Chains A and B, each alone.
Chain A
Amino acid sequence: MNIIRYIIQKEFRQIFRNKAMLPIIFMMPLIQLIILSNAATFEIKNIKFGYIDNDKTPYSRELVEKFNASTYFNVLSDYPSAKMAKSAMLNGDVDVILEIPQYFDRNLVREKKTDLSVTINAIDGAAAGVENVYVTQIIQQFNKNVQVDLMLYDTVNDRPQTIETIPLFWYNETLNYKTFMVPGILVLLVTMITLFLSGMNVVREKEIGTLEQINVTPIKKFQFIIGKLFPFLVLGLVLLTVGLIIAKLLFNVPIIGSIFLMYGYTVVYILVILGIGLFISNYTDTQQQAMFIAWFFMVIFILMSGLFTPIESMPQWAQLLTEFNPIKYFVQVMRMVMLKGAGFTDILPQLAKTLLYAVAMNGLAVMSYKKFT
């Protein structure tokens, strides 16, 4: 036990002595948290909207006015021809083009039916989908108004029943993206720092040559590994604490669930990450190699965590892969506990899987660490 204490003491001394490292460990994540939480939003606003009005009648103007009134669209310009509108889209000057055909007004009144052409730049498919929904909503609303207008001349009986849905948003009533993103980004920061630091730590001693000296001592593997990893567990928890304080004070993210549960889960989670880090360290010879491998896993873990894109919309094989993604569980648990106030039994599946993962990873890490080759 004492031996482990000496290793921990040494690790902390080295961490706090490194003048360049300390700001990296603490300042970088906080700046990231502040910047990313504000910037990473899925809301699509300020859509660049252009139109071609071939009709130029009160109805066509009213339709354009509807888009103008919406906060989602910036009505840019009236293109004289479809050709010009197309070249504008090619240049990226416009995202959505609405083409109002000739006799729009006349067809609407006489035949109660007309076509509209909408062109959406779908390079970003997700954004295009959202834009499509907005456009459809506006046109439908316009449609309803027109119906009311026209019905004055018509029989009122024909008027179709409309069903209106009023959504209620639970757990994040105002659909505040920061509430959704902050817990997730906090997860990334805790993961990145602990993975990189632990991944580079042992390999660094390999590079300097001090690991050989350690291997010549009668120290036991588990003593060495616990002593090495414990400081990073502490650092990870400190980082979580600072992050939570910022989330609360700066972003006003609600923390409904139990803080203890959150910390308890985080401890298990960080053990997984440290196990992965150490495992990487054991199979690499230089810090550079370790860094690249850590990045490889990090990018896959982040993109498949459900933080930025919902796991439910991934293909089946990818969903299966996410079962092995520790970040997925951490993101889920953080959102559940922070925003929904989930209790121990609610997060039990995630906790059990993470625990299993921690045991497996650390087992592998201890096995692959060889004092004797």
Chain B
Amino acid sequence: MKAANAIQVKNLTKTFGEFTAVNNISFHVGKGEVFGFLGANGAGKTTAMKMLIGILKPTSGKAQVANYDITSHANDVKKNIGYMSQRFSLYNDLTIKENITFFGGIYGLKKATIKTKTQALINDLGLHDEANKLVGSLPLGWKQKVAFSVSLLHDPQIIFLDEPTGGVDPITRRQFWEMIYREAHKGKTIFVTTHYMDEAEYCDRVSIMVEGKIEALDSPKNLKTQYKVDSMNQVFLKLARNIE
């Protein structure tokens, strides 16, 4: 196994009773890569991601994240990853500052570190006026940006984003992807699920999951050539339609 890989997945399977949500998938994600993890609703993306972030036990197969086994060293995995989910994950009844303090605190950051990080985060996002406002009162797009920044507080090597831009306007989406790229340039690995095919075009490589299996995995450019179409949207439709 190459040390250069941030994520290494081999024959990973998850079944719930009779239903196989993730069916024997294998892939790897290189360090510093922006990896798009696509699939229709119910294709098994979220289940696969939950196994990789160490909150769901695989039925069979192996995976390493940041060189730690996800079953035997789940806590080491967790120290090295950041996670932001589609279900909004900050506390609405706390202010931006209080959320930062809390999440920084439970990752074991020092008080002084939390203070400087809070200041930096607020400066970066230009939220000086909102820092002491309850998160619940912010527009969705801002919340997502704050949530993303909070998931970076403990300086993780790999960042998992589960539909981070769901329900957000195009401008904010654009800004959000700029934030993602900035982190990728710093050498962080990004693992992102999305339903927006224009976002898929931004990724270094994408995989497309259909009914628990990875049906395609390559760079967007190669995929388009392979399927003889000119957008990721068409690649996606072709794959999903073939199944039906």
Of the stretches A2-10, A97-105, A287-295, A348-356, the one at the interface is A2-10
Check B55 against A372 for contact (C-beta < 8 Å): yes
Cβ of A58 under 8 Å from chain B: no
Check B106 against A9 for contact (C-beta < 8 Å): no
Q: Which of B204-241 contact A (CB under 8 A)?
A: none
Interface of A is mostly: helix
Cβ of A143 under 8 Å from chain B: no
Question: Which interface residue of A208, A210, A216, A372 has the most chain B CB atoms within 10 A?
Answer: A216
Check A6 against B88 for contact (C-beta < 8 Å): no
- C-alpha spacing A13/B134, complex, angstroms: 12
A-B contact pairs, 25 of them (CB 8 A): A2-B108, A3-B105, A9-B102, A10-B94, A14-B94, A209-B88, A210-B89, A210-B90, A210-B91, A212-B89, A213-B83, A213-B85, A215-B55, A216-B53, A216-B54, A216-B78, A217-B107, A218-B76, A218-B79, A218-B107, A372-B55, A372-B56, A372-B57, A373-B55, A373-B57
Number of interface residues of B (CB under 8 A): 30
Check A217 against B78 for contact (C-beta < 8 Å): yes
Q: Tell which of B53, B57, B75, B91 touches A10, judged by Cβ atoms closer than 8 Å.
A: B91
Closest chain A CB from B67 CB (angstroms) = 16
Closest chain B CB from A93 CB (angstroms) = 56
- C-alpha spacing A10/B102, complex, angstroms: 7
Provide the residues of chain A in CB contact with B102, threshold 8 Å: 6-7, 9-10
**Interface flags, B55-90, vs A, CB<8A=1, else 0:** 111000000000000000011101101010101111
Provide the residues of chain B in CB contact with A220, threshold 8 Å: 75
Check B107 against A17 for contact (C-beta < 8 Å): no
Known: A212-B55, A218-B108. 7 other contacts (CB 8 A): A2-B105, A10-B91, A18-B93, A214-B106, A216-B81, A217-B106, A218-B107
Q: Which of B103-120 contact A (CB under 8 A)?
A: 103-108
Closest chain B CB from A273 CB (angstroms) = 25
Cβ of A24 under 8 Å from chain B: no
Q: Report the nearest B residue to A372, measured CB to CB.
A: B74
Number of interface residues of A (CB under 8 A): 27
Check B93 against A209 for contact (C-beta < 8 Å): no
Check B91 against A209 for contact (C-beta < 8 Å): no
Cβ of A112 under 8 Å from chain B: no
**Interface flags, B25-58, vs A, CB<8A=1, else 0:** 0000000000000000000000000000111110
Cβ of A314 under 8 Å from chain B: no
Cβ of A248 under 8 Å from chain B: no
Cβ of A44 under 8 Å from chain B: no
User: What is the interface of chain A, defined by CB distance below 8 A to chain B?
Assistant: 2-3, 5-7, 9-10, 13-14, 17-18, 208-210, 212-220, 223, 371-373
Provide the residues of chain A in CB contact with B101, threshold 8 Å: 6, 9
Cβ of B201 under 8 Å from chain A: no
Provide the residues of chain B in CB contact with A213, threshold 8 Å: 83, 85, 89, 103
Check B81 against A10 for contact (C-beta < 8 Å): no
The 8 closest A-B pairs by CB, nearest first: A6-B105, A209-B87, A213-B89, A218-B78, A216-B83, A218-B79, A10-B102, A215-B55
Cβ of B183 under 8 Å from chain A: no
Check A5 against B105 for contact (C-beta < 8 Å): yes
- C-alpha spacing A18/B105, complex, angstroms: 22
Provide the residues of chain B in CB contact with A209, threshold 8 Å: 85, 87-89
Cβ of B98 under 8 Å from chain A: yes
Question: Which interface residue of A6, A212, A214 has the most chain B CB atoms within 10 A?
Answer: A6
